[in-house]
Amino acid sequence: MKYEKLFQPYNLNGIPLENRFLMAPMTRSRASQPGDIPNALMAEYYAQRSTAGLIITEATQVSLQGMGYAKTPGIYSKDQIEGWKLITDAVHRKGSKIFLQLWHVGRVSSAKVNGLQPLAPSALMAQNTSVYIFDGAANGDATFVPVDEPKEMTKADINKVIAEFVQGAKNAIEAGFDGVEIHGANGYLVDQFLRSNSNKRTDEYGGTKENRIRFLIEISKAVVAAVGKEKTGIRLSPFISFKDMNDPEILETIMLAAAELNKLQVAYIHLCEADWDDAPQIPNDFRKELRQTFKNTIIATGNKTPDEAESLLQENLVDLVGFGRKFLTNPDYPQKVKHNAVLNEISDNHTLFGGGTARGYTDYPFMQI
């Protein structure tokens, strides 16, 4: 077989996966209103894509405060837990495994989304950054609005958010998930604490790199204690700087965090890599250092071709490879790779975010064998 490693089974800290394909988290904004509740249409969407060995759900807010975009699902209410059960049941019936991505957007929000002033490590507004709402446009499109100035978090705020991540993790396990992924990437709250340009605190959560990783490590320790190390993963994005997140110290900071996460023996580190055409590539030196620093599973996601994925796996630089848009439009993506079949393309950009019907969501065709 051309892609021998990609199609090999994998043991994720005791969780058996049928292959090395991972469906990456992708925000789709289909949660039912009011209440941001997962629903049967979402269950159909994820079940269709259970051809992946592991699915990571779309980012899911741990509280209303943590919400940054309209119609994204939550994991803090009983109705949300019950909604997610539809999805985990459907995915497990198809033979795949599924982790829930726990999310707090921090300063990347607006009162127009959730009625609340955003929270952040420091009272610094992200420049050139917008979020979206649905304000009744005739074509159903999202409307982008600038983020609001955030409030600097107090120690009480920090403790509350850590508790929300813990409760979100417990709720996810109650909902039937195989584990959870702490979203520490892409300019959201945990990432904001990691970076020197967004974190100007002078207490134990700011200043030095050791202090800036404290929030991530405290959340990780608390979640591990609540649901187990084998059910806890972390997503990081060392080479992504959009949402006003350019920090010259971030690579050293991420490696310091990786060493601490290794001590906790979390299940995996998931590298969110830039996915646009002229994006910076993660150098192999960084991958090799991460492999030496962190001993458990490493995942790479970022517009990889099957050839690139197979090469990373063969070189033992990663253990799983995430695919996003390929799974969005090709629910049977692994089978299409195996048979070198023609791939579906995005049918309508208007259906990427929002909508309550199958169009552009669950109507992408499977390969005919």
Give the DSSP per-residue string, 127-138.
TT-EEEE----T
Neighbour-count burial of 165, counting CB atoms closer than 10 A to its CB (0-12 exposed, 13-18 middle, 19+ buried): buried
d(CA 262, CA 269): 9
For residue 322, list its beta bridge partners. 22, 301
Say what the alpha-carbon torsion angle 312, 317, 321, 326 is, to the nearest 10 degrees: -40
For residues 291, 298, 270, 224, the Cα torsion angle rounded to the nearest 10 degrees is -100
Give the helix ranges, DSSP H, for the chain. 40-48, 78-93, 111-114, 155-174, 189-194, 209-212, 214-227, 250-264, 284-293, 306-314, 325-329, 333-338
Burial class (CB in 10 A: 0-12, 13-18, 19+), 125: middle
Look up tokens 């253990």; give the residue. Answer: 319
> Are the CB atoms for 155 and 58 separated by under 8 Å?
no
Catalytic residue check, 188: yes
Q: Is the peptide bond before 34 cis (omega within 30 degrees of 0)?
A: yes
Catalytic residue among 188, 268, 333, 361: 188
- Please tell me what DSSP assigns to residue 69: S
What region does 243 belong to: left with phi over 0, alpha with psi -120 to 50, or beta?
A: left
Which residues are tagged catalytic? 188
